[in-house]
Amino acid sequence: MVDSFNRNPIKSKDDFKNYCLRQLGDGVITINVSDEQLDDCINDAVKWGQEFLDEGNFLSIISHEITEEDISNGYFQLPDNILGVKDVLYQQGSSNQMFTVSYMTKIGLIDALAKPLGGLTDYYMMRMNLSQLDMLINPSKPFRYDYNSGRLYLDINWSNALIEKSYLVFKAYVAVDPTVDNKLWNNNYLKKYCTALIQKRWGQNLSKYSGISLPGNTQVNGEKILSEANEELEKLQKEVEQYSSNPSPFWVSVLG
């Protein structure tokens, strides 16, 4: 009985490394790249995939319990796997929200609006009205996210607007960890990109010995290997930019 086709045969970083080396001819020819250089290439490729590939990150809703330290700092320190913040949704306090003016106003207006009478047209208009109502009563909080420091800033009066032990909820792009979700190792763009990075490093290493004959009278052509790798990297970057369905999390953070 033939085994079913495995869509995700690469299960680990070592499997991924060996796959990329085989694409360059490892086992038939010697790939002149050190283990440390291979690790650098893999780490760079994964970081690129997390930032620019659809499969490298996902949009998630995250809740953060507000602490005294957050209020004192004037920012929220987010984990390293947060690539970008798309929107700050709301703050859920510990007080009873049912007796606030905004809540009672919303309930009254929703009751008046949420009675569609004429089929899909009225239903569509009702949903549009409710969306505008929500934006008026709960406007988006202006924010800035600094990826390098991992800090989320809200442009509000922190001492009055935030309550300790309440929750801030926000939408964020989270990097996929391939050691947890090994499907990322099997992404075709990631495999090609890492292979090209290793080839580039290989070409750079060999270029240092240009014009020198190896044992067996073999001529080193590091410049050609390097040139082909650079062309492949440029091609992959353009393809990903053209066909990616999601904007880069970094642009979302800046424009959010």
What is the DSSP track for the chain? -PPPP-S----SHHHHHHHHHHHTTBTTB-----HHHHHHHHHHHHHHHHHH-GGGEEEEEEEEE--HHHHHHTSEE--TTEEEEEEEEEEE-SS-GGGSHHHHHHHHHHHHH----STHHHHHHHHHHHHHHHHHHSPPPPEEEETTTTEEEE-S-HHHH--TT-EEEEEEEEE--TTT-GGGGG-HHHHHHHHHHHHHHHHHHHHTTTTPEETTTEEP-HHHHHHHHHHHHHHHHHHHHHH-SS--HHHHHHH-
Mean pLDDT of 74-84: 93
Poorest-pLDDT segment among 74-78, 197-201, 215-219: 215-219
Looking at residue 167, its pLDDT comes to 87
- More confident call, 30 vs 108: 30
Is the pLDDT at 143 greater than 70? The verdict is: yes
- More confident call, 120 vs 104: 120
Contact partners, residue 151, CB within 8 Å, separation at least 6: 75, 76, 77, 78, 145
- More confident call, 123 vs 30: 30
Q: pLDDT category, 79, cuts 50, 70, 90? A: very high
pLDDT in tens, 148-204: 999 999 888 777 778 888 888 899 999 999 999 999 999 999 999 999 999 999 999
Is the pLDDT at 243 greater than 50? The verdict is: yes
Mean per-residue pLDDT of the chain: 81
User: pTM here?
Assistant: 0.74
Is the pLDDT at 40 greater than 90? The verdict is: yes
Q: pLDDT category, 45, cuts 50, 70, 90? A: very high
Poorest-pLDDT segment among 76-85, 108-117, 198-207: 108-117
Q: pLDDT category, 140, cuts 50, 70, 90? A: low
Tokens 């800033």 correspond to 153
What does the alpha-carbon distance between residue 69 and residue 101 come to, in Å, rounded to a whole number?
29
Looking at residue 173, its pLDDT comes to 94
Is the pLDDT at 216 greater than 90? The verdict is: no
Mean pLDDT of 246-253: 56
